[in-house]
Amino acid sequence: MLTSLPRTVTAVACSLFLSLGLTACGDDDLSSDEQARRAYLGLDTSVSKALQLGFAGFNDASSANIPPQSTTGAASGTLLVTGQVDQGSSANKGMRLRIGMTGYSDGEVVLGGDEDPVNITYASSTDTAAQPELTLQLRDIPGGTFTGTLKGPFQMTGDLEGSVTLDLALTGEIEDDGTGQVRRTPGSTHVTGTATSGDGVYTVDVTR
């Protein structure tokens, strides 16, 4: 929903990245856009997880507030989804969710080619109102479509330090899971938008 990265850097390199609003334990010749790419790639899997938790909350809701839904990172930490869903019998419903992360990591991010993998740990604000917001609109439930956005900042530690802000648009199809509940149709979710970290911007365009 992230060229080799040594574990130590010189004070000069760290000062350079601090001046850009991003501290990175990496080569000082990496572009800021490459830093943003790595920052996003460490979060990519969590975007699908957040969507899955959102749909689980929708299915479990008996009032406007969904029951909090959580899962763990593949390596460490937790991902928590909270928020509200529209009530009533309409086949079209909206959800307004918040994404909380604590010490979250899905482990090594494989960059491809001869680049060394990186490890990044993410966290969100502890203030729910300041956490990244996931909004979803479900149409023609259960066999229709959904649209949505995921916007907001995450803090990073590890091989990248600083923050990354997502501004993503989500579209896809939904279906009955066979038990009367709603799920995303596998392989139909299209994620586009940007991940911004320091002065760098990475353009996201993936299908899940």
Report pLDDT for 112: 82
* 48 belongs to a structural domain: yes
Kindly tell me if the per-residue pLDDT of 17 is higher than 50: no
pLDDT of residue 91: 94
The pTM for the full model equals 0.84
In a domain, 12, yes or no: no
pLDDT tens across 21-51, in order?
A: 444 444 455 689 999 999 999 999 999 999 9
Residue 4 lies in a domain: no
Within a domain: 93:
yes
Q: Determine the structural domain holding residue 47 and report its residue range.
A: 33-112+122-207
Token digits of residue 162: 């600083």
Tell me the per-residue pLDDT of 71-101, one tens digit each, with 9 for 90 and over. 999 999 999 999 999 988 899 999 999 999 9
> Is 17 contained in some domain?
no
HEC per residue, the chain:
CCCCCCCCCCHHHHHHHHHCCCEECCCCCCCHHHHHHHHHHCCHHHHHHHHHHHHHHHHHCCCCECCCEEEECCCEEEEEEEEEECCCCCCCEEEEEEEEEEEEECCCECCCCCCCCECEEEECCCCHHHCCEEEEEEECCCCCEEEEEEEEEEEEEECEEEEEEEEEEEEEEEEECCCCCEEECCCCCEEEEEEEECCEEEEEEEEC
Give the mean pLDDT of 190-198: 97
Residues 136-154: pLDDT tens digits? 999 999 999 999 999 999 9
User: Count of domains in the chain?
Assistant: 1
186: in domain? yes
* Domain assignment present for 177: yes
User: Letter for the amino acid at 68?
Assistant: P
Confidence (pLDDT) at 2? 42
Q: Residue 3 falls within a domain, yes or no?
A: no
Q: What was the pLDDT predicted at 29?
A: 57
Mean of all residue pLDDT scores within the chain: 88
